[in-house]
Amino acid sequence: MEEYVTSTQNPSIKRIKMLHNKKYRDIYGQYLVEGVKMVKEALNEGESIWALVVSRGFNWLEFKNQVGIPIDNLRTLVVEDKLFASISDTQTPQGILAVVNKKEYRLEHLLSKQSFFIVVLDQIRDPGNLGTIIRTMDAAGGDGVVLLKGCVDPFNLKVVRSTMGSIFRMPIYEVEDHIEFFNRLVEAKVHILVSHLNGSNLFEWPGGYDRIAVVVGNESEGVRQEICGFASSLVRIPMPGRAESLNASVAAGVLIYEVLRKSGK
């Protein structure tokens, strides 16, 4: 269903522009996905799409043929290239974006499982780091990424882009009260593995737990001390070289794959 839109005052265009702001992403329960690869992936993953937007200069017919699934029934706004550029987040827009409805995931459902592996992020603020961690968990077959209050919005366009499509597959949980959340993990007998500079060697950690939560901290400050008090194990990644620390997403990747290795998968 194609609609031709020319005005910046069109209600749908105004709404799409608002979605660049976290406040309105939360209000509408929607986020933006931009670019050929990401929009194709959203379609092929069966995401709920409120609307597609394509520019006049975009080869819409070729795109529809490449997607491989029927999309003619999707609401599609066709706009002038200049108008598309005004709603795009990139300097050289590819000419297509999608407005995607957020999925809802419930922690109760996760915590009721007999076994699971999640990563809990404490005040991760860099969009690239968050996107990479989501992507790494997807690659490792993890069960979810939990964001404590203070993390960058996972539906920020830069985060979405850096997940390379994993945002569509990896359950994301946002937690307001971290103390209540960790108490629930303790009650559910989850092994809480916390990355800490004073922890024991990660590679000597035995593993073998059915329910595991790996906690990774802020890029410069690490995991907050009050959270460390909930740890079943404090571990550090050995660094025999001279660097003082690892990038948060690299550290998370090492932890994630060590958990995966010791799970026997």
Do 90 and 127 fall into the same domain?
A: no
Do 117 and 82 fall into the same domain?
A: no
Do 178 and 58 fall into the same domain?
A: no
Where does a domain end: 101, 128, 151?
101
Q: 195: domain CATH number?
A: 3.40.1280.10
Q: Which two tokens stand for residue 185?
A: 């993990």
Strand partners, 213: 118, 192
Q: Of 197, 256, 258, nearest to 223 (Cα)? A: 197
Return per-residue pLDDT of the chain as tens, 265 residues. Answer: 788 998 889 999 999 999 999 999 999 999 999 999 999 999 999 999 999 999 999 999 999 989 988 898 999 999 999 999 999 988 899 999 999 999 999 999 999 999 999 999 999 999 999 999 999 999 999 999 999 999 999 999 999 999 999 999 999 999 999 999 999 999 999 999 999 988 999 999 999 899 999 999 987 888 999 999 999 999 999 988 988 788 899 999 999 999 999 886 6
Q: 11: domain CATH number?
A: 3.30.1330.30
Cβ distance 13 to 83 under 8 Å?
yes
Do 84 and 113 fall into the same domain?
A: no
Residue 238 structural domain: 107-263
Do 118 and 149 fall into the same domain?
A: yes
Three-state DSSP state, 110: helix
Cβ distance 146 to 184 under 8 Å?
no
> What is the 3-class SS of 128-196, one letter each residue?
HHHHHHHHHHHHHCCCEEEEECCCCCCCCHHHHHHCCCHHHCCCEEEECCHHHHHHHHHHCCCEEEEEE
Where does a domain end: 101, 121, 143?
101
Cβ distance 202 to 254 under 8 Å?
yes
Q: pTM to 2 decimals?
A: 0.94
Do 178 and 82 fall into the same domain?
A: no
Do 161 and 175 fall into the same domain?
A: yes
Which residue in the block uniquely carries the two structure tokens 């105004």? 14
pLDDT at 227: 95
- The residues, ordered by sequence, that sit 6+ positions from 265 with a Cβ below 8 Å of its Cβ are 141
Where does a domain end: 101, 122, 153?
101
Do 195 and 144 fall into the same domain?
A: yes
Do 97 and 130 fall into the same domain?
A: no
| Structure letter (DSSP) for residue 218 | B
What torsion, rounded to 10 degrees, do the Cα atoms 184, 179, 129, 89 define?
100
Domain count for the chain, please give it.
2
Do 7 and 23 fall into the same domain?
A: yes
Do 226 and 118 fall into the same domain?
A: yes
pLDDT at 264: 65
Say how far apart CA 93 and CA 234 lie, in whole Å.
45
Do 24 and 42 fall into the same domain?
A: yes
